[in-house]
Structure formats: C-alpha cells, structure tokens
Structure 1
Amino acid sequence: MAFQELTRCTLQEVEGIPLLKPMVKTWERVKAFQAFPEDLLIVTYPKAGTTWTQEIVDLILHGGDAEEVRRAPTDIRMPFLEINTAKGSHPGISQLEKMDPPRVIKSHLPIQLLPKSFWESGSKVIYVARNPKDNVVSYFHFDRMNMIQPEPGPWSGYLKKFMEGQCECFWIEYVNALCWGSWYEHVKGYWQEKDKRNILYLFFEDMKENPAREIQRIAKFLGHHLSEDILNNIVQLTTFDAMRENPMANYSSIPGNIFDRKVSDFLRKGEVGDWKNHLSPEENAAFEKHYVETMSDCEIPFRFVI
C-alpha cells in the first residue's frame, strides 16, 4: 500500500484486548512465537519509557559502545513483536522469525497475551511502568501524531477512556478504546507475577530520579558488570536530549505521513509531572478518586512527582 493511502487503523479484539486491526492478521504467528532462554523481552504499556529502556539495554550489551549501538534504528535492532500496520512495513514477527537468539524484543502486550514460550524458555523480561497521569498525557500526544493509531479525539474524552476503559463494541471491532487495553490491568498483571517469573520490574520515575542506579540494576539483571566510566557514558548517551538528537533512537526514520511531527515529536518531553499541565483541578480530583478505587487491590508504589 502506498504511503499516501495511509488511514488510521481501527481496533479489533484479541482474547478480550483491543489491538490494531492489522495485528489480528498475524496474531496466530505472534501467539506461537518461539522464545529462547537467551532472548530478552522489554515490555511496557505504551509511552512508559520503552525506547529509553531499549537504548540502555543495547548499550549495556555492547559495553557502552555508542557507534555499535548506532548500527541501525531502534525498531531494526530490537523488533516490535506484535506490530503489524499493513501500511507498507514488515510485521515485527517477520523480523524476529529471521533472527537467531539472543534477541532483544519489544512488546506492549499485557501479560495474559504474551506467548507462553517466554515463560517456558525462562527468557528474561524487563517491565517498565510509568505513573498513569504522565502515561495518559504521553499516550494522548502519541495518538495525535501517529497516523496509524486510532483518532484520539478530545483530551477530556481520552482521559475518561483511559480511566474507565470504555469501549463501544460493534461486533468485534472497537470504536472507542485504547490499543493494548487497560493501563490498570497491564501494570497489575506484571506486578503480580514479578516474584514468580524472571521479571525485573522498573519505574520510569526511578529511572529519571537516579538513572545510574537503575542502569546498574538492569546490568546486574542481565549479568553484566559496568565500570564507572562505562556507566557514566551510558547515562550521558541516554539522557532525553541525547536520545532526541540521535537519529538511531528518535524514530526520525519513520516517514512524516506516519508520524506527524507538526503535531508532536515521538520523544516529546520525557518528564515526570507534565500531567500538571494537562489535567484540570476537577479532572485531577476525579482521576485521584478513580485511581485509589481501582488500585485498591494492588499496592504498586507509583510516584506522580519526584
């Protein structure tokens, strides 16, 4: 399909989770994906620090060698397992099926949809969670600029959709939902399994507050020792400003009719607390009430400011 024919995708249900409709076409291949013990999965809810974590991991695995990590764009180095836009690009599963382990793999799938081979093989999994107020703001701007994602609509409606997981279903096609489902169920799912499986659970806010500490945690999880010099180099190479200027990490290779940069950059702010610029006092009060009620069964230590 020619790029000029791009239209926003609709959502379709896969085992109760709304995904981009083209993903459904390759879902059976994703579900049957064979992971190996040497593979590493980086998984997040969308816009929770995925690209940042991918860059940190690649630098750790290559000893902080910036040139080696600039060998290709992020989505080539670490393919996106379930992505399929049917818009002139290759599905992530097709890339991964051609690669030998060890592979670094990206996903946004909730835990119940992950291929069982990740658990059966003992693959390591890094999960990154971001506080929901900043997460919804970032996701909103991403959906505005990504011409493949469903139309986000106005902010007030988007926030309500995020909070309540509202969806209006016509047969099996969703017209008012968020791709990859509920943030609440996503973060809870991995949190509840983190001590039973090979999962390192990280927080975006901790990474912003003390990147050196969190990079060392990731390195230890991967079985790597970082000297002070290499650690400091990785910290500098993965600052927001450095990544925003790095053509191999900022998704500038994605055509402008897919990522409309007049609306927003892919790497927009990367801050903790930007939600204060978006949620009105009334919206914030309603969000707080809903958050406390919805998270009452799972105490995850999210921070909304640092």
Structure 2
Amino acid sequence: MGGIHPARPASGSHRSAAFPRFLKTHLHPQALPWHREWKYIYLARDGRDVGLSLYNHIRTMAEEITAAGKPVPPVHSIPADFGTFWDQWVETGKPRWDFWGNVASWWQIRHQPNVLLLHYADLTRNKPQEAERIAHFLGCEWDASICGLVCEKSSLEYMRQLELAGKLGSPDKNKQKTGLVNKGGNGRWKDLLTEQQLKRYAAIAAHKLEPACAEWLHHGGHIG
C-alpha cells in the first residue's frame, strides 16, 4: 500500500493490492470508513510503555532527519528529557494523537462482531495463542506450520533485520540502528517515571476510561 509511511497515498493502490489487503493506522474508529464486511483489529498497550516507546521512536526519527540535513518537523520535535516529554504527552497527547480518547473510542465498540481488541502484553506472553485468535477472527486457515512461520516473521529480531536492510520503514539500506523497531519490552518505564508521575497517570486513566477498560489496558487479558 505504498510503504509504511508513504509520502502520499498511491492512487487506487487499495483496489489493486493483492488479497489480503490491510491498512495500518492510529486513527479513532470514527475517522475510518465503516463496513460490516471489513475486519478491524485494535492493538492496545499499557500507556506507560506506549509513552516510552513513542519517545524513543520520535527521538530516533528526529536524529535520522537531522543526519539527512533536513529540518525536523514539529511532529518530531520533542523535549530531550523523557520526564518533560511524558508530562506533556500523558496530559495532551502532543505531539501526536490523543492516547486516552483513542483507547476509549475502540473500547466502546469492542463487542461489534467485526472488531477484535488485542493487548500487546498478551502477544508477548503467548504469541501462538493470540496469532490463532487473529486467524480465526479473519477466517484464515491455521495449523502448526503456519503458526511457526507467523511467530518467526513477527518476531522483533526478524523485523529489526528487515529494517536494517531497508525493507521496513525507510528504504535506507545502510542503517546502523533501527528506529521503527525498538526493544519491544514491557515495564522499562519503571526506572524513569517518578511516583508522582505514576499517580497522575493512574488518575488520568481513571478519569478518561471506564474502570474495566483501565484494568484491561493495565493488565491485558481477553475481553468477554
């Protein structure tokens, strides 16, 4: 579909692309076309992990843009200090999207038959099980051989190698480090956020999300 971050949508690419066709986006469901025959998969992650992952991603992208001799756009301009970035992001979502509103909007439609909500923690705990859930949701065939292939090609190491080879993210084949695929671990924020910041995060989650949604966002698990 024109790359992960195409400069502009390729005209008619969604119609000419081979099956299965997919679109990856960070949009709210209200901003997307809605068709009953389409399948929508939403992947959520603990907001504390999201904040740190986003910070590292933006910093790396800004470094690459600077190294290329280009001006850094506002969407990639963030404070050098993670704590300062965090305080702004957790309250407003800047410089990107409204994290809390995004989670809440997908949670509201979780029981739609063509919607599947997944949690990053579940994928890391038991990828084969979650991959099978996705396959059944999409109506795809599934067996042990397919499971092994899917788990291998969705591994962080495999995707890092693709990015370094210029086959994922930017087409630069001389990358020395990955910017799109980082460590992928959970809980790395524990040594970076203060007790006050964690309390503020919990307070915002309680205010912005339904109790069951906040609990799910924190721990994961299948939604009944």
Q: TM-score range by the shorter chain?
A: 0.7 to 0.9
**Post-superposition shift, 1:164?**
1.4
Q: Deviations over 1:82-103 (max 9, x none)?
A: x6xxxxx631354635635642
- Contact map agreement 1:111 1:189 (CA 8 A) in 2: yes
Gaps of 5+ in 1: 1-74, 84-88, 167-176
Aligned to 1:120: 35
Q: Give 1:129's match in structure 2, choosing from 17, 40, 44.
A: 44
Aligned to 2:78: 152
Counterpart selection for 1:288 from 189, 193, 202 = 202
Q: In structure 1, what is the equivalent of residue 27 of structure 2?
A: 109
Decide whether aligned partners of structure 1 residues 297 and 282 sit closer, same or farther in structure 2, where only a CA change above 3 A counts: closer
**In the alignment, which of 145, 157, 163 is matched to residue 90 of structure 2?**
163
* Letter of the structure 1 residue corresponding to residue 51 of structure 2: V
Q: Quick check: 1:216–1:231 contact (8 Å CA) kept in 2?
A: yes
2:116 partner amino acid = L
Shift of 1:209: 0.5
C-alpha contact (below 8 Å) 2:51/2:90 kept by paired residues: no
- CA distance in 1: counterparts of 2:76 and 2:57, whole angstroms: 11
Q: CA deviation at 1:237?
A: 2.4
Quote how far apart the aligned CAs of 1:163 are.
1.8
Tell me which of 133, 156, 159 is aligned to 1:217. Answer: 133
Amino acid at match of 1:150: H
4+ runs deviating over 4 angstroms: none
> Secondary structure of 1:229's partner?
helix
Q: How well do the aligned residues superpose, as a CA RMSD in angstroms?
A: 3.0
- Show CA shifts across 1:143-164 (max 9, x none): 1122353301132332122221
Relative to its length, the structure with more helix (as a share) is 2
- Mapped to 1, the partners of 2:167 and 2:44 lie a distance apart of 20
Equivalent-residue separation in structure 2 for 1:255 and 1:136 (angstroms) = 28
Aligned counterpart, 1:227: 143
SS state of the match for residue 127, structure 1?
A: strand
Deviates more, 1:234-243 or 1:126-135: 234-243
Matches within 5 A, 1:76-87: 76=2, 79=3
One-letter amino acid of the counterpart of residue 182, structure 1: D
Contact (CA 8 Å) 1:205, 1:303: kept in 2 or not?
A: no
1:139 is matched with 54
8 Å CA contact retained: 1:130, 1:302: yes
Q: Compared with structure 1, are the counterparts of its residues 227 and 141 closer, same or farther at alpha carbon in structure 2 (3 Å cutoff)? A: same
Deviation at 1:290, TM superposition (A): 2.6
Aligned equivalents of 1:295 and 1:251: distance in 2? 32
Report the TM-score when normalising by structure 2: 0.77
Q: Percent identity?
A: 21
State the alpha-carbon separation in 1 of the partners of residues 59 and 122 from structure 2: 27
Number of residue pairs the alignment of both structures matches? 205
Give the residue type in structure 2 aligned to 1:275.
W
Which letter maps to 2:26? H
